[in-house]
Chain A
């Protein structure tokens, strides 16, 4: 089945130690999104890629970066994780950047713990 895959499902890192989360998709979608979801809160959009074009949300901290080496893969890099970055990180895809009409397909998420 075509899907959005996130690895690992659970990640533990130390305060200040860089960490990378990965996402892959078999849907061949143009757009890939990264969301942060803290406990009991709604997902919050961090940034998205339309093909190779990177689009950052205005309030996304510089500590968060992303790479998309090809259509299938997208990475979330947290350069110096703080305790406040502990959260579920969700990857999603869509065919186009017209979210008013397009469906987003989400992966299962990676739960990040910062010690």
Chain B
């Protein structure tokens, strides 16, 4: 298993540009989520999904969109990038079946800089 994969690893955007951060998992996990990590702030939840076709907002959703058309993929879209969105973005997934273990598996992250 590749686990949770994220692309790209690094990205530089200009203010106002849009882009999609890709996240995929091959563990057949129902639950997927996106976090951003900023120095001294820990990780904050942006959006999450409990299954294909179901998404919901987390703590800091403004400026981001998500969709979940398949179990495997959970892309994060930045509609109009702003310098405040400069951060490291992590995707995570978790098994939420009959006997969940509540462990979240994290991808390697995408480092985004908005100039």
Asked if A pairs with B, the answer is no
